[in-house]
Amino acid sequence: MLRKIIVLLLIFVGFSGTSMAFSGEEGESESFNTGEMIMEHISDAHEWHLWNGHYGTLPLPVILYSQQNGIVAFLSSKFEHGHASYQGYKMEEGHIVAEDGHSFIDFSITKNVAQLMFNVVLMFVVFFTAAKGYKKREGRAPKGLQSLLEPIIIFVRDEIVKPNIGKNYNKYLPYFLTLFFFIWFGNLIGLMPGAANLTGNIAITCVLAVITLVLTMFSSNKHYWKHIFWPPGVPVPIKFIIVPIEIIGILTKPFSLMIRLFVAITAGHIVLLSLMFMTFIFASWGVGIGSSLVVLFINIIEILVATIQAYVFTLFSSMYIGMAMEEHH
């Protein structure tokens, strides 16, 4: 297993390095903006760059709606790398704008949206395949994909959800399993060559945090709100200090979930890309070999970080919901 992981990571390092080759006139290497290329990788876009060259870019659907033009749909390749307009729209610094300045709603399938769809489809395939295997092998030991998923599912149930939610944990178990595997798959896929930075997009982490906040609010009982608005056993003058802090804490908890996942994944991508670009910055084979070895080591750490971040997000979400459901003692 370890040998396979190392081989895949070596392929990743080699692929990443060759996909960033730059050649200018008469074979001379061109200078490039490292920061710009890193931001291009971690940011969302209306096309998907898999490797350099015309055939290495996958145009994505642009879907716009406005009262003036109605629904307009076309591929992002119509913009010709941002230098042309199409049907009254043009691309400016990665954003679509209307030439006449009218307002519109953008329903485009961007790189992160496409990655999100792929992540969802992958989860459906994986879990429907595992469920089908359980039906065929009912009463027998798990095999194949089942043997991989079952220990993880049991761990999430027994070590995360059950201790924090309590006796009604079965009601919330599907959500927490979906949350864990969605983040875990998104983190791992984001480490693959050419993949989008899904969980490093703050919009994704924001939605996940908001869902946890909503579930916390709807699962809360009167004792939860009593402890927030009038903490028992606290002197009255101190309550006027504690209550505002508790109210702010309602929002800071999901905010911390959002920021933690976003920063951890984005920082990891920036570090990896920075180390890769050292080869081109110093134009040295020695630096290239050294940076590739470091990138290999960092990738192994990033696989661990991808799992830890899925665990931490699920753990704290279950803690917040469990605290809101806790009965008075």
| Structural domain includes residue 56 | no
Q: DSSP for 33-94? A: -HHHHHHHHHS--SEEE-SSSGGGEEE-EEEEEETTTEEEEEEGGGGTTTTSEETTEEEETT
What pLDDT is recorded for position 58? 84
| Structural domain includes residue 152 | yes
Phi, psi of 117 (to 5 degrees): -60, -40
| Structural domain includes residue 53 | no
Cα–Cα distance between 327 and 82 in angstroms, integer? 58
Residue range of the domain that includes 276: 111-325
| Structural domain includes residue 181 | yes
| Structural domain includes residue 306 | yes
| Structural domain includes residue 19 | no
| Structural domain includes residue 270 | yes
pLDDT by residue for the chain (329 residues), tens digit each?
445 444 444 444 444 444 443 333 333 344 556 777 777 777 888 888 776 656 677 888 999 998 888 898 988 888 875 567 888 888 887 788 888 888 889 899 999 999 999 999 999 999 999 888 888 877 777 777 888 899 999 999 999 999 999 888 999 999 999 999 999 999 999 888 778 888 989 999 999 999 999 999 998 888 888 888 887 777 888 888 888 888 898 899 999 999 999 999 998 888 888 887 777 777 777 777 887 788 888 888 889 999 999 999 999 999 999 988 877 65
Query: Do 208 and 312 touch, CB atoms closer than 8 A?
Result: no
Question: Considering its fold, how many domains does the chain have in total?
Answer: 1
| Structural domain includes residue 163 | yes
